[in-house]
Amino acid sequence: MAQGKEENYNVIHKSKPRIDGVEKVTGRALYAADMYMEGMLYAGVLRSPYSSAKVTKINTDKAKAIEGVEAVVTYADLRKKKSWAGYMYLTDHIRYAGDCVAMVAAQSKSLVDDALAAIEVEYEELPGVYTIDDALSEGAPLVHEEYEKNIFTDSMFHIRKGDVEKGFEQADVILEREYRTQYIEHSYIEPEAVLAYMDPNSGLMTVQASAQNPFFTRRYVSDILGIPLNKVRMIQAILGGTFGGKEEGIGLVTARAAYLCYQTKKPVKFVFTREDSFLESAKRHPFRLRYKIGATKEGKIVAFEGEQVDNCGAYNNQTQFMNWRANVHSSGPYEIENVKTDTYGVFTNNIHSGAMRGYSSPSLIFGQEQLIEELAEELNMDEIELRKINCLKDGSITATGVPVEYVILQDVMEQTVEQTDYTRKHAEYKKQTDGRKRKGIGLAICYRGCGLGAESPDASGCMMIANEDGSVSIASGLAENGQGLKTAYAQIAAEALGVRYENIQFPQLDSFAIADSGMTVASRGTVMGAQSVRKAGEKLKKIMIKNALELRAFSLENTGLTYDDLTEEDVELKDAVFFLKKHPEVKVDFASVTNTCIWTGKQMAAYEWFMPEDLPQDHATGQGKAFPTFAYGCVVAEVEVDMRTGYVDLKKVTASHDVGRAINPALIKGQIYGGIVMGQGYGIMEDVAPKKGRVKNRNFDSYILPTSMDAPKMDINIFESGDPTGTYGAKSIGEPATEAVAAAIANAVYNATGRRVRENPCDLETVLLGKKLG
């Protein structure tokens, strides 16, 4: 770890073992698909094979006649076909090849399959649109009648800073480039799964689902059944990965299971096949990025203009957030006086795009960090030097017109450049003119607004309960997604309250235990979400100290003190021991105080709500503070490219990230290792490549991900900036870990080959031929 002033922490800033580690590595963790109830039914859906169509006829008689099939439900049976978020539970208006026309519940999985096969559907195919260019073309068919030219107007954002016309007039060099990125799949190990069951007396519907955002998913259940939210009990099942993927899709799955449970009055388990998951889970938004950049011959960037268009697919309720973030970050981690950018999404007849680790940033950075190098080349200037001149520094004004503080971006970059011997290697590799295999080194820098910022409320709640035996239970409105949130929260809770890490228990989220605290997204869990955990801990600590004094828990003999001399300020609670600050030998165990508290009726719980500062922004210009703070990073990729096959072998990645304060360094490294390999897949081989809206790669035999054999050597540097904004100074890391990797790879490929890959990924054909094949 570099930088960072030493603080005397007891529990955080240490690599505590994962609170849920043993159950996961031993295979004992119970996932939703592992759950079983006597008499439960299995569920399935029938999907349209067409990407744009009308159902003209549907006949379920044969399916209903099959013994053991207990419910067959079509779009015609549903009171509510369209979910609160816009996606369709079932529909007869097909907007992508994945829309569902019917669902069934039956006594076995094979009966589900038989029932689905027995449903007769007739479709009338309609013209569709698939690419961004098609969707925007004159006279293109409309995916949604209400959106003219297929433009998703709610997702349109602008930056208007300074005067770009004037800026370009000052420029000695002006460069215009277009970059494109592709659809990719989250590829979590566990496909979507849910078990729904109902208490017939109270009508309480319980769902245990692999939901990234349990409250978000609960909303779907209430929505489809038309029952109040307090009639739905959502218990989050342990997640086998999500990365932003188990949001809309799992909401639809859970709602359908609940509906079938409601109809049949029997428990219903619905587990997606991998194919289902590929067909209905959101994908990373493909972007078309058109940038124009102007700089003086000294290397000062004076103007930046951009149009960032993303493919929303058939439905959306995330593109506006995606694009808000894209808008804020549209000119990269650089201070530029004149910026004019427009960002918007278009509807097409493809699978919907949604949240995926990095949100819009991996796409943008793929373009921006190549653009900066293309500009350096035009200026005949060293690309690191150009970055140094323009990158954000303390007091720099961002694209949204506000100054930033605690900016260690340049340090992070310079140290990484030195550590990797970048400059020498880059110069040497550039000279390669022959040789079958050529080496390349590439760099990308990044910055990322921490948490949700002005996108949506970043508030959260935490309930903390001390039990009579001194153990502590916490409940949070944010959820464990596999990223290590429980571990980080347990550390923060223990630190703030003054107990041991081992004292804390943090079970799966239950909607009856805590209030909705928004979604566990945007790498906000630790930086913002845990603020309420810290607050609750600090509040409970005060309460418990007061209790200890009121109960006269200390033995004051030999101190010459009386209880009248003591105030709460004189007592400390640390490592589950109360002691007098001036007489540390006078101490009492936390557990002995809690034990007395329970029999004397003392309060032993605290609930706290954290509300971040208000961040007002002007919609027309995008000006105003966007985020409480930013995390900075630098990634260097080293590759070897086979010049005759286009094979890119990623040899080594060095990733340096400003994490503010490392709550758990081992978990941070884990996040970064995973982020690098995910970025490698995005940068080199992954592509859902829908053909006329149809996803052909529906399983991992044809959808190519990096294997452990492909993973590069990885060097990780953790920087601590001393920025106090986040919880104990922590910043985001989940998304920064992956966002700059593909850009660094593309720059490395250029360094090796002299060929710019402006359309991600750097797959065999693109690297060899300089274009996508077919």
Q: Which is nearer to other proteins, 56 or 702 (CB)?
A: 702
Residue among 153, 419, 567, 645 that touches other proteins (CB under 8 A): 645
Site for other proteins in 92-121 (CB under 8 A): 110, 113-114, 117
3-state secondary structure 407-467: CCHHHHHHHHHHHHCHHHHHHHHHCCCCCCEEEEEEEEEEEEECCCHHHCCCCEEEEEEEC
Residue among 339, 634, 641, 685 that touches other proteins (CB under 8 A): 685
DSSP bridge partners of 547 = none
Does 774 sit near other proteins (CB under 8 A)? yes
Which one of the spans 292-300, 557-565, 624-632, 705-713 is the region binding other proteins (CB under 8 A)? 705-713
Does 714 sit near other proteins (CB under 8 A)? no
CB-CB contact of 185 with 703 (8 Å): yes
Does 431 sit near other proteins (CB under 8 A)? no
Does 769 sit near other proteins (CB under 8 A)? yes
For residue 761, whether the previous peptide bond is cis, meaning omega lies within 30 degrees of 0, is yes
CB-CB contact of 648 with 641 (8 Å): yes
Q: How far is the CB of 640 from other proteins (least distance, A)?
A: 12
Which one of the spans 28-36, 53-61, 231-239, 707-715 is the region binding other proteins (CB under 8 A)? 707-715
CA distance 742 to 684: 8
- Angle (nearest 5°) at CA 578 between 534 and 572: 55
Does 640 sit near other proteins (CB under 8 A)? no
Residue among 35, 156, 704, 714 that touches other proteins (CB under 8 A): 704
Q: Which is nearer to other proteins, 81 or 274 (CB)?
A: 274
Which one of the spans 496-504, 525-533, 571-579, 644-652 is the region binding other proteins (CB under 8 A)? 644-652
Q: Which is nearer to other proteins, 278 or 554 (CB)?
A: 278
Does 691 sit near other proteins (CB under 8 A)? no
Q: Total residues contacting other proteins (rule CB under 8 A)?
A: 25
Does 644 sit near other proteins (CB under 8 A)? yes
Dihedral angle, C-alpha 131, 136, 141, 143, nearest 10 °: 70
DSSP bridge partners of 6 = none
Buried b (16+ CB within 10 A) or exposed e, 319-341: bbbbbbbbbbbbbbbbbbbbbbb
DSSP bridge partners of 512 = none
CA distance 305 to 303: 7
Q: Which is nearer to other proteins, 293 or 648 (CB)?
A: 648
Q: Which amino acid is at 157?
A: F
Which one of the spans 341-349, 526-534, 603-611, 699-707 is the region binding other proteins (CB under 8 A)? 699-707
Q: Which is nearer to other proteins, 221 or 768 (CB)?
A: 768
Q: Which is nearer to other proteins, 115 or 171 (CB)?
A: 115
Coil, helix or strand for 18? coil
CA distance 717 to 258: 46
Q: Which is nearer to other proteins, 177 or 772 (CB)?
A: 772
Does 189 sit near other proteins (CB under 8 A)? no
Closest CA to 582 of 605, 554, 606: 554
Give the long-range contacts of residues 512-516, CB within 8 A, separation 24 or more.
Answer: 512/233, 513/463, 513/475, 514/461, 514/462, 514/463, 514/475, 514/476, 514/477, 515/461, 515/477, 516/215, 516/477
Does 706 sit near other proteins (CB under 8 A)? yes
Does 646 sit near other proteins (CB under 8 A)? yes
Q: How far is the CB of 692 from other proteins (least distance, A)?
A: 16
Which one of the spans 302-310, 381-389, 659-667, 701-709 is the region binding other proteins (CB under 8 A)? 701-709
CA distance 195 to 269: 4
Question: Would you say how long the chain is, in residues?
Answer: 774
Neighbour-count burial of 139, counting CB atoms closer than 10 A to its CB (0-12 exposed, 13-18 middle, 19+ buried): exposed
Q: Which is nearer to other proteins, 529 or 646 (CB)?
A: 646
Q: How far is the CB of 181 from other proteins (least distance, A)?
A: 18
Does 768 sit near other proteins (CB under 8 A)? yes
Residue 317: what are its φ and ψ, rounded to 5°?
-135, 15
Q: How far is the CB of 685 from other proteins (least distance, A)?
A: 5
Q: Which is nearer to other proteins, 273 or 415 (CB)?
A: 273
Structure tokens at 272: 């997606």
Which one of the spans 170-178, 406-414, 640-648, 713-721 is the region binding other proteins (CB under 8 A)? 640-648
CB-CB contact of 739 with 360 (8 Å): no
Residue among 134, 468, 710, 715 that touches other proteins (CB under 8 A): 710
Q: Which is nearer to other proteins, 66 or 204 (CB)?
A: 66
Q: Which is nearer to other proteins, 280 or 383 (CB)?
A: 280
Q: Which is nearer to other proteins, 226 or 754 (CB)?
A: 754
Binding site for other proteins (CB under 8 A): 110, 113-114, 117, 642, 644-647, 685, 701, 704-710, 763-765, 768-769, 773-774
